[in-house]
Chains A and B, each alone.
Chain A
Amino acid sequence: MRADRGWIQPEPWGIRIVPADCWIDPARPVELALVTHGHSDHARGGHGRTLATPPTLAIMGLRYGLDGGGVPVDYGETTSLPGGVRATWLPAGHVLGSAQILLEHAGERVIVTGDFKRRLDPTCVPFLPTRCDILITEATFGLPVFRHPPVEEEIARLLTTRAANPDRCVLAGAYALGKAQRLIAELRLAGYAEPIFLHGAMERMCRLYEGFGIDLGELRLVADVSKADLAGQVVICPPSALTDRWSRRLPDPITAMASGWMRVRQRARQRNVELPLIISDHADWDELTATIAEVDPAETWITHGREEALLRWCELNQRKARALAMVGYEDEDD
């Protein structure tokens, strides 16, 4: 089914803004792309021109190279697009540079949230709730069982486990963009001042964050130290490396994973995780529903995730809503 709002058309591979002939987070190369944030399911290379925040463009540049097609836009800055469409990037609180995109056309306001969260995150600007007529939201954790605990509690469990096992190391799997840097920054906020050790694949993104003024403390590479030096330390790697041969160079690691999915025991067990850390960069159920209530749109469209339950919630609360069934946005590791 298509939404016939005329000027805004969701397709399985992106959201099309018809009068401006451009796309938001398209999964295939287009002439003009508006990108919410740097995760690879939303930001892909190969577009003619890409409008995004400076950190998002830097992240995309690091991953694909942009060949000069990047057009930086700051939060709050309004850009005029062809066909009388105005676009404004607003902070989404998901990762560094992440944005919601507010579109205005013929007196109607549409917000595409991209991925977002409402918790404070020391590595990015907090979500800015903004009124609109249509809210196009994600629903990655759109089930009422997903209520993320305070991040301080999860960090405290990590540090307690580390302290109780001086001969082992805590190996935490975390998304290389966003989650890893947030985990490090939260550890620093909790007063952890030891060097934090990184898998090689983490380094460039951490340096990029530092370049944008995010202080991550002393970071060192696993490759530069001996196995014995890692006893009692915290090591961060991409989730895929947790069970990779790479992990054999670590001293009897305690496998941790920082992800909202860790809320469900079976999910954590499937990944062989010993220390599940429920830390997510997505809104949980309470945040999703509170955001819809606060923004109070006339219609809510759901891009991806567990849309069934959120649709049901909208129905119970007399809110008009529909699922867009967009592909490729599923976030298995966050």
Chain B
Amino acid sequence: MEEFAILLDSLVYTRSRNGKLKLIADYLRSTPDPDRGWALAALTDGLDFPAVKSSTIRNLLTERIDPVLFALSRDYVGDTAETASLLWPEPPDPPAPPSVSEAVEALSAMTRTSVLPELARLLDRLDANGRFALLKLATGAMRIGISARLAKLAFALAFDVAIDDVEEYWHGQTPPYLPLFDWAANGAPPPSAENVPLFRPFMLAHPLEDTIVDMVDYVAEWKWDGIRVQLVNAGGETRLYSRSGDDISGTFPELAAALQIPAVLDGELLVRGSHQGGEEGGAASFNALQQRLGRKAVPKRMLEDYPAFVRLYDLLIVEGEDLRGLSWVQRRALLESFLPRLDPQRFDLSAVIEAASLDELAAIRERARDDAIEGVMLKRRDSPYVAGRRTGLWYKWKRDPLLVDCVLMYAQRGSGKRSSFYSDYTFGCWDGDPDQGAELLPVGKAYFGFTDEELKWLDRYVRNHTVNRFGPVRETDKSLVLEVAFDSVHLSKRHKSGLAMRFPRINRIRTDKPAHEADHIETLKALVRD
């Protein structure tokens, strides 16, 4: 348990992704079975101990400590498990700490009647960090930003095995994942993955940029502005995976229920709604989809107001037959003949765009007014479906970004390597004619788009033009114009300007332009397509 407690503590204070990967990988390498498997499950919220709840911890503590002192402490610390770990009265001669597996076994055996004394016995054997780790593990609320994908990457890094293999063998395995560790660490044969709805790594595209392609060899499709998903049915079970390989079936239960044929489909998850910018019955803007993201439980109302569907791009596997080695043309034909077997409420096809040349395609791309379109895709007609980005096979060609000139209003320090830089910028537009006393209203916030040199310049600018400080935020004298690029802009009740930008980034620093010549809110509003 001590090593796990140290790992957890280090993860709390490590912000970089690589740093987290290394910490987990080191732990997995140096910890024996089955502790490392249980720890891995705990990190990815894969453990559940129904007898232990947040209220259990509170009850346990208020048996030992004055409830008023507990409440004051809890208010200050902000986390019940951490408060309890700090307040726990340590026995004078604590017995040896339990291992992770011993703790997991004990926690699994606890019932509602036995939990108070048994949890107390475990806590008595640990120090403050150990108690924190135990209580976090017991309540299943780690909240340390470790996704399932990150844990798998760390596993691959720890034992120098391919991440695609880890993804493939992981599914169907349960904690403490002994066959998985046996395969990766000891070279045993991999666990069987038959009849398991596992994730296949996505095929991805390069940006087109200056590449010229011949439309004889390539086919064009719309690039939809939703989230790329993979829907897998195998062994009587359906799962929905996000681009990172995380299982999001729970967030979109209507989709997981809609595929009943053993198959693997690749498509874009969108929500319906003509009132949200899509054509009648078509796809709504990303803004509408956002209402559904990141939810663990989905209220019925959400399912009705924002019904999800998948616009299909590709068919990878159908009824045991792996199509990934076939050409795009062959797979497309099979996808089109497969489509009638699916519920039309939940699935449609991403249309192919007829364009004889890149110029023609460019014109079509610019004319596209549908807000759910992000740009176009170019796919080589003979391309097989291969994991990752392969040069020359698929390209993405995004619609040119929208541009607006804004005035820098506030700047905030970044984190990690950027913690000494003012690198997060809030910018605004005028709510009328600045010469007639109009004011700036914030319209967005961006923290990328600039070069390292520009960042240094901006940081210096902010420091030399500060008029006010609020904690980590500085208010500037509102003299600098920034050209901001963004993909789209939507009406928003949450912002004072009534607008929210999607993907804003700093495109150019306009030292040549005086602040009063920056754009007005009205200009930005005219770009809304909601």
A80 within 8 A of B: no
Chain B neighbourhood of A265, CB < 8 A? 12-13, 79, 82
Q: Report whether A276 and B73 are in contact in the complex, using a CB–CB cutoff of 8 Å.
A: no
Given A144-B73, A145-B87, A147-B86 in contact, is the A272-B66 Cβ separation under 8 Å? no
Interface string of A227-268 (1 = CB under 8 A from B): 000000000000000011111100000010000000111101
Q: Report whether B13 and A274 are in contact in the complex, using a CB–CB cutoff of 8 Å.
A: yes
Q: Which of A263, A268, A306 contacts B13 (CB 8 A)?
A: A268
Q: Which of B66, B79, B420, B459 contacts A247 (CB 8 A)?
A: B420
Given A272-B419, A316-B66 in contact, is the A263-B72 Cβ separation under 8 Å? no
Give the complex CA separation of A246 and B420 in angstroms.
8
Q: Report whether A312 and B14 are in contact in the complex, using a CB–CB cutoff of 8 Å.
A: no
Interface string of B45-85 (1 = CB under 8 A from A): 00000000000000000000110110011001111001100
A294 within 8 A of B: no
Q: Report whether A272 and B415 are in contact in the complex, using a CB–CB cutoff of 8 Å.
A: yes
Give the complex CA separation of A105 and B19 in angstroms.
61
Which residues of B in the span 411-438 have a Cβ within 8 Å of any Cβ on A? 413, 415-416, 419-420
Q: Report whether A313 and B69 are in contact in the complex, using a CB–CB cutoff of 8 Å.
A: yes
Q: How far is the CB of B33 from chain A (nearest CB, A)?
A: 26
Residue of A nearest to B89 (CB): A144
A-B contact count (CB 8 A): 66
Q: Which of B86, B415, B459 contacts A263 (CB 8 A)?
A: B86
Residue of A nearest to B460 (CB): A245
Chain B neighbourhood of A283, CB < 8 A? none
Q: How far is the CB of B315 from chain A (nearest CB, A)?
A: 45
Give the complex CA separation of A67 and B88 in angstroms.
52
Q: Report whether A266 and B73 are in contact in the complex, using a CB–CB cutoff of 8 Å.
A: no
Give the complex CA separation of A313 and B72 in angstroms.
12
A32 within 8 A of B: no
Q: Report whether B420 and A145 are in contact in the complex, using a CB–CB cutoff of 8 Å.
A: no
Q: How far is the CB of B64 from chain A (nearest CB, A)?
A: 11
Q: Report whether B78 and A309 are in contact in the complex, using a CB–CB cutoff of 8 Å.
A: no
Chain A neighbourhood of B87, CB < 8 A? 144-145
Give the complex CA separation of A312 and B73 in angstroms.
12
Q: Report whether B420 and A143 are in contact in the complex, using a CB–CB cutoff of 8 Å.
A: no
Q: Report whether A266 and B13 are in contact in the complex, using a CB–CB cutoff of 8 Å.
A: no
Q: Which of A145, A246, A247 contacts B83 (CB 8 A)?
A: A145
Chain B neighbourhood of A306, CB < 8 A? 72, 76
The number of residues on chain B lying at the interface, defined by a beta carbon within 8 Å of a beta carbon of chain A, is: 26
Q: How far is the CB of A333 from chain B (nearest CB, A)?
A: 14
Q: How far is the CB of A323 from chain B (nearest CB, A)?
A: 13
Interface string of A286-318 (1 = CB under 8 A from B): 000000000000000000001011001100100
Chain A neighbourhood of B79, CB < 8 A? 265-266
Interface string of A267-281 (1 = CB under 8 A from B): 011001111100000
Given A145-B86, A247-B420, A248-B420 in contact, is the A273-B76 Cβ separation under 8 Å? no
Residue of B nearest to A246 (CB): B420
Q: How far is the CB of A318 from chain B (nearest CB, A)?
A: 14
Give the complex CA separation of A244 and B422 in angstroms.
10
Given A243-B420, A248-B420 in contact, is the A143-B72 Cβ separation under 8 Å? yes
Q: Which of A149, A245, A312 contacts B72 (CB 8 A)?
A: A312
Q: Which of B13, B72, B86, B463 contacts A273 (CB 8 A)?
A: B13
Give the complex CA separation of A246 and B231 in angstroms.
51
Give the complex CA separation of A246 and B421 in angstroms.
11
Q: Which of B72, B82, B86, B416 contacts A309 (CB 8 A)?
A: B72
Give the complex CA separation of A143 and B75 in angstroms.
11
Q: Report whether B419 and A309 are in contact in the complex, using a CB–CB cutoff of 8 Å.
A: no
Q: Report whether B76 and A145 are in contact in the complex, using a CB–CB cutoff of 8 Å.
A: yes
Give the complex CA separation of A247 and B12 in angstroms.
22
Give the complex CA separation of A303 and B27 in angstroms.
46
Give the complex CA separation of A260 and B213 in angstroms.
63
Give the complex CA separation of A136 and B70 in angstroms.
25
Give the complex CA separation of A248 and B73 in angstroms.
37
Q: Report whether A243 and B66 are in contact in the complex, using a CB–CB cutoff of 8 Å.
A: no
Chain B neighbourhood of A316, CB < 8 A? 66
Chain B neighbourhood of A309, CB < 8 A? 69, 72-73
Residue of B nearest to A315 (CB): B68
Which residues of A in the span 127-159 have a Cβ within 8 Å of any Cβ on B? 143-147, 149
Q: Which of B15, B72, B420 contacts A244 (CB 8 A)?
A: B420
Given A243-B420, A263-B86 in contact, is the A143-B76 Cβ separation under 8 Å? yes
Chain A neighbourhood of B78, CB < 8 A? 266
Residues on A facing B (Cβ under 8 Å): 143-147, 149, 243-248, 255, 263-266, 268-269, 272-276, 306, 308-309, 312-313, 316
Could you list 5 examples of A-B contacts with CB < 8 Å? A145-B83, A245-B459, A306-B72, A309-B69, A313-B69
Residues on B facing A (Cβ under 8 Å): 12-15, 65-66, 68-69, 72-73, 76-79, 82-83, 86-87, 128, 413, 415-416, 419-420, 459, 463
